[in-house]
Chain A
């Protein structure tokens, strides 16, 4: 019994153990946090640097270099240029809107199509020819392993003959296809978590199956749908491969713009840093404020 007293040997040893484990845990956490944050910090600060600052390896703003707007001026954002007409800014905004429109509409389309399919598969038993529910689910989910390269060329030819090359609609269709399996995966899990008695009660009360779905199930499943939407948004916003092959001037998205600058401009660091920061900033903000949904979406399929 004496072991619980603080000045006893055993008690002291437990205390030391506790402290060492604390120190180890927090130092590991902080080290990894630095690994995660430093590239973002580096990019953000570099966008305010001039060439000599980069060459001298200055890191801390106001301490060893004075922040300048030069990098942001190259995409038309700075206190000086903000009131004026700027072609570079228009160029950037055009790409930005392309990215935004394409990723938002394809995520929306994928969530609508995917939720319907996931609900159907989790509630009714189907039979299309030899395919039963599990086969249909497998068919949808197996699209996940389809590598983009396989579809790239057929779509290039197909879009050329449909005049969809270099259009946003073309990209939207492809991106929807790309995230659809993930949405179905998340939503099926969500719908399976909703007790079936709710719909049975709704059906008894005189709603049709679509009425029960829209009025009863959808509001409950909404957080899951938001999670699926945001996850799709992230994937679509960052997609590069199809955008690089299927767009040229009109429908180019931000990743393509970033990639096209890296080759041509040498070490025009400040402008590249500003462009990269502007490209990643929207999603960083999404991550900070909607982190809950992102984690919910990714956790959905993991834990059965």
Chain B
């Protein structure tokens, strides 16, 4: 993953006095204690033990930010040049840790609680009841099954994207025009797409596509039967995201060494042979990157489903995200919804790790 060794080596003689070190540590600890004290005070106020306090936890956030800043400054104060190097990564790391790790821990806690925002009273721990409910929740398993279909659709997207990339890489005129046009769908927000295509072009009575189908003698029904509805969602999602894979594959095609392709031409390979024996194998690493990233994006699919079908008919188009979204929005059943989300996260981590392992093993095998 990283090219270790090709790094910038700096040799610095740091003479940091003990006093300076103490100062740096003092800075960190004092701000940390201050923040902690503030948080405890606020918690006590919230619990009703202290009369004086703030309306919100916002001051605690400021104290936390103060601590984070102090931590960054103290790196330089305590460690000198080494600290300056740490300063490159530390802000981003602090940012991600505080915005991901703490909320995740909190989510883990909530997911074992019975908590409905609509009912009075806060979260009540209920052990594994949520998990048991999930086990018997047909809609959740159905949404997971749909995710499998949606992920499988990536293979079709990949084929189309590869074909388009080959077209754009051919000797054509107006290449820039076609490239911009092919890129456009990626720029559109899924919400706008769901109106533009899902709700207006596919409208049964007046939509242009329905009209076209009727001219051919079919009776259009796009979101009536489960299979067609799912296919329509896949098509809309593909329409927006094919350019994404196409651009990556195009970049890969343009980076191919032209000598090899020339050589295969000289050796008398036909177009199809050239693609199958030379271009496709050389494109494998790029293809794998594009597919893996596309799958990761696909696992977050929700916006179009929420806005076009809201999961219907009968949950046939539900993705996990849109299902949990409705669980939050319509039922305010946050304890259960969060458990579903956490289970989904674990499944995703297992799936993606397995995928990466598989890909790595497969790529390392000598061709």
Interface set, chain A 233-251, CB cutoff 8 A to B? 234, 237-238, 240-241, 244-245
The tally of residues in B whose CB lies under 8 Å from a CB in A reads 105
The tally of residues in A whose CB lies under 8 Å from a CB in B reads 108
**Interface check A304, CB cutoff 8 A:** yes
Q: Are A262 and B195 in contact (CB-based, < 8 A)? A: yes
Q: Are A302 and B195 in contact (CB-based, < 8 A)? A: no
**Interface check B222, CB cutoff 8 A:** no
Most buried by A among B57, B191, B285, B325: B191
From DSSP, what is the main secondary structure of chain B's interface residues?
helix
**Interface check A3, CB cutoff 8 A:** no
Which of A7-15, A63-71, A80-88, A269-277 lines the interface with chain B? A269-277
Q: Are B338 and A153 in contact (CB-based, < 8 A)? A: yes
Contacts of B206 in A (CB 8 A): 54-55, 57, 267, 269
Complex alpha-carbon distance, A203 and B84, angstroms: 14
Interface set, chain A 137-164, CB cutoff 8 A to B? 137-140, 143-158, 161-164
Q: Which of B103, B197, B325 contacts A241 (CB 8 A)?
A: B325
**Could you mark each residue 9-42 of chain A with 1 if its beta carbon is under 8 Å from any beta carbon of chain B, else 0?**
0000000000000000110110011011111101
Q: Are B286 and A258 in contact (CB-based, < 8 A)? A: no
Complex alpha-carbon distance, A177 and B299, angstroms: 18
Closest to A37 in B: B181
Contacts of A6 in B (CB 8 A): none
- How many A-B pairs have beta carbons closer than 8 Å: the answer is 308
Complex alpha-carbon distance, A231 and B240, angstroms: 15
Query: In the complex, what's the smallest C-beta–C-beta distance from A43 to chain B, in angstroms?
Result: 5
Most buried by A among B55, B286, B300: B300
Most buried by B among A164, A259, A286: A259
7 pairs from A and B in contact (CB 8 Å cutoff): A116-B92, A147-B300, A148-B321, A244-B325, A295-B183, A301-B248, A303-B255
Chain A residues in the interface with B (C-beta under 8 A): 25-26, 28-29, 32-33, 35-40, 42-43, 46, 54-55, 57, 59, 113-114, 116-117, 119-126, 128, 133-134, 136-140, 143-158, 161-164, 173-174, 176-177, 180, 184, 192, 196, 199-200, 203, 208-210, 213, 234, 237-238, 240-241, 244-245, 254-256, 258-259, 262, 267, 269, 272-273, 276, 279-280, 283-284, 286-288, 291, 294-295, 298-299, 301-304
Chain B residues in the interface with A (C-beta under 8 A): 1-4, 6-8, 10, 55-58, 60-61, 81, 84-89, 91-93, 95-96, 99-100, 102-104, 106-107, 110, 163-164, 167, 170, 172, 176, 178-197, 199-201, 203, 205-206, 208, 211, 239, 244, 247-252, 255, 285-286, 289-290, 293, 296, 299-300, 302-303, 306-307, 320-321, 324-325, 328-329, 334, 337-338, 341-342, 344-345, 348-349, 352
- In addition to A147-B344, A149-B324, A284-B184, 6 A-B residue pairs with Cβ atoms within 8 Å of each other are A39-B201, A42-B200, A113-B91, A113-B92, A116-B87, A120-B89
